[in-house]
Amino acid sequence: MVHTTSMTAAAAALLLALPASAGMMYTKGSPVLQVDAKSYDRLIAQSNHTSIVEFFAPWCGHCQNLKPAYEKAAKSLAGLAKVAAMDCDDEANKAFCGNMGVKGFPTIKTVKPSNKRGRPVIEDYQGPRTAKAIVDAVVDKIPNHVKRVGDKGLESWLAGNNDTTKAILFSDKGTTSALLKALSVDFLGAISFAQIRDKEKASIELFGITTYPTLILLPGGSTEALVYDGAMKKEPMVAFLSQIVPPNPDPAPKKPKSARKTGKASKDEKKEKEQATKASSSFASASSSQASSEASEAAASATTITLEDASNPTESPDPIATAEDAPAPAPVVDLPPPIPTLGSEAELRKACLGSKTTTCILLLLPVVPESDNVAPESTKMALASLGSIAEKHVLRKGHLFPFYAIPTTNPVSSNLREILSLGGEAEMSLVAVNARRSWWRQYDGKDFGLDDVEGWIDAIRLGEGKKEKLPDGLVKEEETTEEHDEL
């Protein structure tokens, strides 16, 4: 016989063990975007990007079961679309959830931008609750602003708004990838995108295309075209395109607050509050019904349920206490941020010596004698020059390949010196390496001053100067996985 008191206690214990808020359901480190009634319009409705939104309650067992697949989908769609969630158990969100037609949990809806900004097309997602199914459904709804151009239509497309920036992807595929669609959304209204197949011979010859995919950026007017030589990934491609024009801000800027609301605005506001109260009441009734049902089911099977460990709590920042009689800090010299150091073989191979990695600038540091314990002046100058160049491009939001310092303690350092004939560990060397396109180039300047080093880097960025073929043995093949974040 099961006593009512025992059943109630079991249900209460189980419900208390479940997350109690959105912050617990999806932590700050989660790839899922957390939205509420106030931020939904700015982050989702006003966005040019497609979104999928889960309306959940922390006590909902089905929501907990969905979480791993939903977070996996969010990782796959990063940079392509938004994967969001709203806690409908939060009092501040209940009216909004009611207005969205939420009657049970989880409710999942896709939100696709329409021709009218701020009025997206919202549909219920009824597909399987697996990561792959969710990803496929969202990718299918990403707006396509990429024009398919052939030999016959290229001239007229190029002539249209000649002074505007254009981007062309030359591809051997007949479909437009989710990545290219997402890029066209990022730069909607700022850059016109086109895709040309490898079968369009005249267009291929006109731009001298030899490999696929190849992305060309046409700044407009008489400015020469820029050829992208990086990985076909969202972040570096956005940085490349941003050299000419920045992407659209997302989320949309917040609307300025109005000074006063009178007359008709007040009446509308009153009507909205009445509707919100009604929706909240209806939603609360449905929510309470589901919660009661799940509590009963949980109590009945409480002896067989094993709960996962609660997620680690978010640490609060430690307060910094300063004594009243503490001495005033000494003035700090305004030095550029240091460039990153790659101390292990795994770090270096992942960043610069993988089969798909692109251009890297590597400063091979010399060994420092124990008696000196101080880097030579030439090394200090090289590090300062590279740091200044990197900082300048960051401040103006320009695209530039990464700079790394490689100490002699990195096992690959000696291998690089030997294969590229750069000299012993007592010497410092500055080289550019592009593993994907299999070339390298050494800095041959007399010193490592800012102007000389920057001139060498600018020449590489513009494709000028002689490049040597990268010898075999340096680059390792990488395992490939199926992703949507590719062309």
pLDDT for 447: 85
Distance of alpha carbon 311 from the chain centroid: 24
pLDDT at 420 over 80: yes
Per-range mean pLDDT, top range of 194-208, 377-391, 444-458? 194-208
Rounded to whole angstroms, the Cα distance separating 358 from 229 reads 7
0.85 exceeded by the pTM? no
**431, amino acid identity:** V
Backbone φ/ψ region at 262: left (φ over 0), alpha (ψ -120 to 50), beta: beta
Distance of alpha carbon 363 from the chain centroid: 28
pLDDT for 309: 36
Q: DSSP secondary-structure letter at 176? A: -
Strand partners, 148: 195
Q: Which among 317, 312, 404 is positioned nearest to 364, based on CA atoms?
A: 404
Residues 256-291 pLDDT 10s = 555 454 555 555 555 555 555 555 555 655 565 565
Residues 334-385 pLDDT 10s = 567 889 999 888 889 899 998 889 999 999 999 876 655 667 888 888 999 9
pLDDT at 112 over 50: yes
- φ, ψ of residue 430 to 5 degrees: the values are -120, 120
pLDDT for 268: 52
pLDDT at 255 over 70: no
Q: Residues in the chain, how many? A: 487
pLDDT above 70 covers what percent of the chain?
A: 74
3-state secondary structure 152-194: HHHHHHHHCCCCCEEEEEEECCCCCCHHHHHHHHHCCCCEEEE
In order, the DSSP letters of 338-400 are PPPB--SHHHHHHHTSBTT--EEEEEEPPPPPTTT-S--HHHHHHHHHHHHHHHHHHHTT---
Helix, strand, coil percent values for the chain (each to nearest 5)? 35, 15, 50
Q: DSSP secondary-structure letter at 211? A: S
